[in-house]
Chain A
Amino acid sequence: MDTGLLIQVILSGLSVGAIYALVAVGFGVIFNATGAINFVQGEYVMVGGLSAAMLYEAWDVPVLVAIVAAVALTVLLGVLTEFGLLGFGRLRTPASITIATIAIAVIIKGAAMLISDRDTYALPSVLGAGSLQVWGASTSRQTVLNLLLAVVAVVALALFFQRTKLGTTLRAAAGDSETLQTFGVSYRTTARWAFVIAAALGAVAGAGLAPLTVMSFDSGTLLGLKGFAAAMLGGLGNPRGALAGGLMLGIAEAVMSGYGAAAYADVVAFVVLLAILTLRPTGMFGTAQAVRT
């Protein structure tokens, strides 16, 4: 067996897997706050990556400034998402909120299609174009940055949820939002914070993904659904599980493409999703919850 190829495959798997992990964490944050699956999560990644790349390519904005602006824009979209879902006070059940998130995802994707005119844009890595040599395999420097981003995001979120008042409130909302409201904490406020965090995570994932591939209005949907598969694999709502699930999914896909079945690499995520839902719906690191009837 060619160890060079193996290491190459693992590295590229980790690089994309880190992005899945960031998306998966975003799904978990919204799920904990509202009980709904946020189909907009993938579109946040698209908006973050595409707007940063468009700012850089079309308006010559420096890379870092473009990324910061893209994150700000995506967070604004997160706030608007929350308003679009809960601002009319009519959607109450997780199922109806989930359906409405699909509508918002379609709107954002449709708007992005018009604004980008179906063009693709690329963003260079903040670390420059050089590649890294690791045991005979070469990888872009972005791989290291993406891994770092995913780990930092997970650790930061874990600290935030454990150590801060807002984080504790969000965890309480996940446990029992009605009791929390009797303590005078607004459901809308917790939900809005959850969407701000999820959108920021998505935008960072987009900025990390753009240097690995090109971005278009169509980059978000499939990525979002794969991120969901990663979230289920690790246990929905569990940040550490999301990290593990994302990296595992990334490596599984890379192994499929690296060893001759590239055409079927996209199928892996959905087979994993079906398998984990069938065999262990709480995910590998999920706590016991009632997910079966």
Chain B
Amino acid sequence: MRGRRGASDGTRRRRTAWELWVTIGLLVVLPLLAATDYSLHIWTRMAIFLILLTGLNLIQGVAGMTSLAQAGFFGLGAYAAGISAVRYDLPPLVALVVAPVVVTLVALLVGVLSMRLKEIYFTMATLGAGFVLFLLFGRMVELTGGPNGLVGIPPFSIGGLEFTEPIMRYALVAVLAALGAVVAHNLLVSRTGRALRAYGASEPAALAVGASPFRLRLLAFGLSGFYAGVAGALEAFDSRFISPSTFDFMTAVLLVVALVVSGAGRMVGPILGALLLTGIEVFAADYADYEPLIMGVIFLVAVQLFPRGVAGELAVRWEERRERAQRTGEAAGPAETAETARTTRTTGTDGAPAMIEEVGR
């Protein structure tokens, strides 16, 4: 039984590791394909989306709870960094630290208030939190600049080194995005990650072993806020101008839908989602008026065709095929048959509780 458990754990680790390498590989390769200033600007946007979605994936994909607060948190990070730099003359490096801390604290507060609610009520609470933030960005005119936006944000700099060249701006965001992906990956294969996954998969089973989902989910939600804070600060220093409309309800919806369509809960989901969002942004610049209509149709079709997300759907099919191949392969060798039968029995009776037992602490 122990051997079996180790094997399935190893498989998961290998699989997510492979997905992690795809993410990092794309971050390195994509700018090489076309390294003009414009394309680097596009890839920087993509990497910012990647950070946002990696954070969202922790609560949406892994813990299985839809959060519509991510756009508001993104904006809070951007405004926290922008206001620190513009109104309080803090160095950008300090602002980059302040922003995620502020957002994490707010996320934890929202989480404490809403985390005990059932799924759909939690979603509506996060919607409310995101909307309050969005409305405040537009209304607290003295601090945020109101609907006209916050202007005069300096470029990111460390000491005297200013990140104004497109390649440096991309490198900064890409390095943090890759770091974020590694941290998320490590968290997901850790005990905590498995526990979170167990709650996402079967809450009653996880509860039955007496673990508290509240604290774990709060951790996941706080972390998703931290990622949004980093992404927001990077957005502020990259665009050097922020206005409320970037962080509206539509953005919150787009983030969730992009992640769900790509494959929530997979390590490779965020990068696919980020590519999708970037594609939409580029496309929208040419067809502004038709964008919402076309986007809505694409999302409806995608949600109907791939309820588990594109990556999720492909992975499920691939695993089914591999399992089938394995079964026929094992059946061929008589010496293996007894082993197969034993494994099957173990999985059928003890497999699930064994996983939860490990998860419970």
Contact = CB atoms under 8 A, between A and B. Distances in A.
Which of A106, A107, A281: most chain B Cβ within 10 A?
Answer: A106
B30 interface: no
B300 A293 contact: no
Contact of B299 (A36, A37, A103, A274): A103
A289 B250 CA distance: 31
B114 A225 contact: no
Interface stretch (A93-101, A170-178, A183-191, A247-255): A93-101
Contacts of A278: 113-114, 125
Interface string A106-130: 1111110110000000000000000
A277 interface: yes
A290 B203 CA distance: 14
Contacts of A100: 300, 303-304
B289 A99 contact: no
A104 B300 contact: yes
* Most chain A CB atoms below 10 A, which of B114, B299, B303: B303
| Secondary structure class of chain B's binding surface, majority of residues | helix
A207 interface: no
B307 A91 contact: yes
B119 interface: yes
Contacts, number: 129
B124 A113 contact: no
Contact of A95 (B117, B120, B135, B257): B120
B128 A99 contact: no
B117 A267 contact: no
Interface residues of A, number: 45
Interface residues of B, number: 46
B296 A274 contact: no
A273 B125 contact: yes
Contacts of A271: 128, 132
Contacts of A102: 253, 257, 299
A225 B134 CA distance: 14
B2 interface: no
Given A106-B253, A110-B291, A291-B117, A277 B66 contact: no
B66 A95 contact: yes
A98 B296 contact: no
B121 A277 contact: yes
Nearest to A231: B124
B121 A281 contact: yes
Contacts of A273: 124-125, 127-128
B301 to A, nearest CB: 9
Given A84-B300, A91-B303, A106 B292 contact: yes
Contacts of B300: 84, 100, 103-104, 107
Interface of A: 35-37, 84, 88, 90-91, 94-96, 98-100, 102-111, 113-114, 221, 225, 228-229, 232, 263-264, 266-267, 270-271, 273-274, 277-278, 281, 290-293
Closest 10 CB pairs of A and B: A110-B292, A110-B293, A107-B296, A106-B296, A273-B128, A103-B300, A103-B299, A270-B128, A278-B113, A270-B131
Interface of B: 66, 110, 113-114, 116-121, 123-125, 127-129, 131-132, 135-136, 139, 141, 203, 207, 213, 249-250, 253, 256-257, 260, 289-297, 299-300, 303-305, 307
